[in-house]
Chain A
Amino acid sequence: MSPEPSAVEGRIVASALTKVFGEVKAVDDLSFTVEPGSVTGFLGPNGAGKTTTLRMILGLATPTSGAGTISGVAYAHLPVPGRTVGAVLEATSFHPGRSARNHLRVFCAAAGLPDKRADEVLEWVGLTQAARYAVHGFSLGMRQRLALATALLGNPRVLLLDEPANGLDPEGIAWLRGLLRHFADVDGRTVLISSHVLSEVEQTVDRVVIIARGRFIYEGKLADLEGASGGVVVRTPTPDQFATAVASLNAKVTPRADGSLAVVGATPEAVGRAAWEAHVELHELRAGSSSLEETFLRLTAEPAAPPGPTP
């Protein structure tokens, strides 16, 4: 792969990221791209490796192998990272005895920003009233807002937010959605938000990267996943050949309880053509009828018998 494609300003690239903790392969050969001007959902069930992946991209954890870049360079090599990238990793990065304003002022000093910036971001996230209170009295939603305020201090063009909707009330989620959409649509910033439930972010994101058990599952427009969200149900006597045939579609094949196969991420037309071109015998081909959330669950489910090509 040539280095040029990743050198786009604001683009986040993970290339073959792998992280092993002792016996656990937390992230396994994970590659994906996040484009500026979009809100990308980084999805996967608990323990999928989302936080670990973000930590590697942000230079907090060293990958066992592979690399992550932002605007074409490793995080540590960004000219002014504190003013280029804003990140939240689980909303817990506060000293409980420090007030919200002082928390922000600490990082204003570190980033060389004027102190009034702390009050500005507090107002943005609606915490002006609570500015003088110690964080230990904050609710989870208030912590999320303060974490977001910290990420916004340097007015970054790239935002990486780990589970930002966690603990927000519906009103807060709507507010966050508006803010992130504005950043992407109007400002053209890059926004990556992780979540373990698709429904929490499905109204906010336009692209998704889905992982499970540290491995890449799906990457693409949410609309494509939605279009195919019913999926395609296929019955074939040769499932292995079928999986090989549709491999080029970038779709995920999983066995269903009744012995048929579910194909997610492709239309019935594309699946039929691929099977026909590979001379795979089909006994049934029809559009499925599951919701987006069911599709997500099926995509990330533990594989019973590994379908598709396994490396």
Chain B
Amino acid sequence: MINLIRAEWRKVTTVKLGWGMLLGALALAALGVVAQIASNGNGANGSPLPPLSAAETQRSIAASAGSAYLFSVVVGIILITTEFRHFTSRPTFLIEPRRGRVIVAKVIVAAVVGIIYGLACAALTAAIMAPWFAALGVSIGWTSNGVLLSMLGDILVIAIFAVVGIGVGVLVRNQIAAVIGALVYLFVLEPLIDIIPVVKNAYPYLPGAAGAAITGVNRGSLAHLNAVQGGFVLLGWGLFFALCGWILTIRRDIP
């Protein structure tokens, strides 16, 4: 098993994609953080937002780095669909015909990659927040205001979405279709579900909404789950997609 994990790790580190996507994730995280701080009037006249010193604001700024999950889900998808696209699936499953083990190794490596992305995004967020707040003379309640916890949520969301990506990529082997499908779902379909009567009751339990709940961002028209509930729901989605990937890889032919 450790051999397979090493092999999967090498697959990630020997192509440029992983690094490119990391830069993308960092850029998206930074954009969210900068936009939130800059657009906050900091209690000035007419500003409807709570000031920067408010715990709620600080948590929300830290949480916006979690949007980098968009990149980790795509990385997860690409890690697996690349195998089918370039037929590296053939030597991979020839060397290890017990296909389930390959998927387990991939899920582990995807989770590690996700955690690295998450750590990098959280570190960047802190690196932007700390000097900026200091310059404005606002102190950050890293623990008292739950900012660190919010960042931990970011890391969790980013890591789990990488695992979700593996499952999606097994389900839809066509790389472009899988990436576009996942993004359309997260950007269009899930928000759409939130506005359809009756069906919308399921909305808080969907992956995107559960991820938002973890980082404490209020999204959707209904009361959302709390962070811990969201964590379990998203973890459930991660396990579900990993299991789907495991079963389908065993059952279907390798192209």
| Residue ranges of A at the interface with B (Cβ–Cβ < 8 Å) | 55, 58-62, 75-76, 78, 81-82, 85, 87, 89-90, 92-99, 102-103, 105-107, 109-112, 150, 154
A87 to B89, CA, bound (A): 13
A85 to B94, Cβ gap below 8 A?
yes
CB of A98 within 8 A of CB of B14, answer yes
Give CA–CA (A78, B94) in the complex, Å: 11
B96 contact set on A, CB distance < 8 A = 81-82, 110
Q: Which of B15, B87, B98 contacts A92 (CB 8 A)?
A: B87
In angstroms, how far is the closest chain A Cβ from the Cβ of B66?
29
Are A106 and B11 in contact, with the CB atoms below 8 A? Answer: yes
B82 at the interface (CB under 8 A from A): yes
Q: Which of B2-10, B25-33, B132-140, B181-189 contacts A (4 or more CB under 8 A)?
A: B2-10
Question: What are 16 pairs between A and B in contact, CB < 8 Å?
Answer: A60-B93, A81-B94, A93-B89, A94-B88, A95-B11, A96-B86, A98-B11, A103-B14, A105-B10, A109-B3, A109-B6, A109-B7, A109-B10, A110-B96, A111-B95, A154-B95
Q: Once the chains are docked, how many angstroms separate the CA of A76 from the CA of B254?
A: 13
Which residues of A have CB within 8 Å of B6?
109-110
User: Which residues on B sit within 8 Å (CB–CB) of A98?
Assistant: 11, 14-15
Please determine whether A93 and B86 come into contact, CB atoms closer than 8 angstroms.
yes
Smallest Cβ-Cβ distance to A99: which chain B residue: B14
Given contacts A92-B87, A98-B15, are A60 and B10 in contact (CB under 8 A)? Answer: no
Would you call B48 an interface residue if the criterion is a C-beta within 8 Å of the partner chain's C-beta atoms? no
Give the CA-CA distance A96 to B6 in the complex, in Å.
20
Provide the residues of chain A in CB contact with B98, threshold 8 Å: 76
Given the known inter-chain contacts A109-B10, A110-B3, A110-B92, please indicate yes or no for A89 contacting B87, CB distance below 8 A.
Answer: yes
A93-B88, A110-B7 as given contacts; A87 in contact with B94, CB under 8 Å: yes
Query: Given A59-B97, A60-B254, A82-B96, A106 and B14 touching (CB < 8 A)?
Result: yes
Also in contact, A111 and B97, with CB within 8 A (given A94-B88, A95-B88)? no
Judged by a CB distance under 8 angstroms, whether B91 is at the interface is: yes
Q: How far is the CA of A150 from the CA of B92 in the complex (A)?
A: 11
Nearest-neighbour CB distance to chain A for B98, whole angstroms, equals: 7
Please name all residues of chain B whose beta carbon is closer than 8 Å to the beta carbon of A59 when the two chains form the complex: 93-94, 97
Contact in complex: A97, B15 (CB < 8 Å):
yes
Residues of chain B within 8 A of A154, CB atoms compared: 95
Q: B86 contacts A95, CB within 8 Å?
A: yes
Q: Which residues of A contact B7 (CB under 8 A)?
A: 106-107, 109-110
A106 lies within 8 A of B94 (CB): no
Inter-subunit contact A93/B10 (CB<8 Å): no
A75-B91 Cα distance, complex, nearest whole Å: 13
CA distance A66 to B241 in the complex (A): 32
CA distance A75 to B17 in the complex (A): 33
User: Which A-B residue pairs are the 5 nearest by beta carbons?
Assistant: A110-B7, A82-B95, A76-B97, A102-B14, A109-B7
A61, B254: Cβ atoms closer than 8 Å? yes
Alpha-carbon gap, A61 to B88, bound state (A):
15
